Amino acid sequence: SYPESDRSPAIEAYEAAHTDDPRTVSFRYLGQVLGTFLAVERGGVFYLIDQHAAHERILFDEIRARRGRAQELLVPYRIETDSTEADRMLAARKEALTQAGFTIEDEGSGLWQVTAVPAAWVGTQKDLEEDILDPAVNPETLADHLWATAACRAACKDGDVLDSETARGIVERAFALPEPVCPHGRPVWVTLTREELFARIKRT
């Protein structure tokens, strides 16, 4: 779990309102709001769930859970570097890439070949090339970065119209998350209690 200093008000409100198993509490889905949020009533609390952030975290956890399963590429990705510095960086990241489920080999002369990717990973050769050659990414967090960017690409986006069944599925799985935060640390939802709402409209 996250340290106290990193805990958002949304997480604290969630934990204060629900001390039981979150997967056993029913909810009432109210609809999609502003093309971005899923409105839900649950346990006397109103939730606005960020559909992209929730779906992104769900997919991220799935990819991470299946990291031991790889799929061979019918046509290997060919990544060409433009400097010896880039080659050294990839060489230093090879172990982390292998642990993340990628099979990458140095063919020499600035050419690298990726022959396998994690089974649940989503992306193109260009996506992978940009991710693994990003100098700003710490090698120690490279795997999480790769899974997070893959989840972000595959998740529903702001403005996507979701049918009721799909939306309910995201809501249900969002409430089952161990921590309601996206892979980048943003809260999956914001909450508003009946008392808070009454106070805002100056009703007693």
Q: How far apart are CA 113 and CA 78, in angstroms?
A: 5
End-to-end Cα separation, the chain, in angstroms: 37
> pLDDT 10s per residue in the chain (204 long)?
333 434 444 444 444 444 444 445 589 999 999 999 999 999 889 999 999 999 999 999 988 887 767 889 999 999 999 889 999 999 999 988 888 889 999 998 889 999 999 887 888 899 999 989 888 888 888 888 888 998 999 999 999 999 999 999 999 999 999 989 999 889 999 999 989 988 988 887
Determine the pLDDT at residue 53: 96
Distance (Å) of CA 109 to CA 5, 75, 79, 81, 133: 47, 20, 11, 9, 16
- pTM for this prediction: 0.77
Query: Residue 137: CB partners within 8 Å, gap ≥ 6?
Result: 131, 145
Query: Residue 108: CB partners within 8 Å, gap ≥ 6?
Result: none
Determine the pLDDT at residue 32: 94
Q: Say whether 95 sits in a helix, a strand or coil.
A: helix
List residues bridging with 50 in a β-sheet: 37
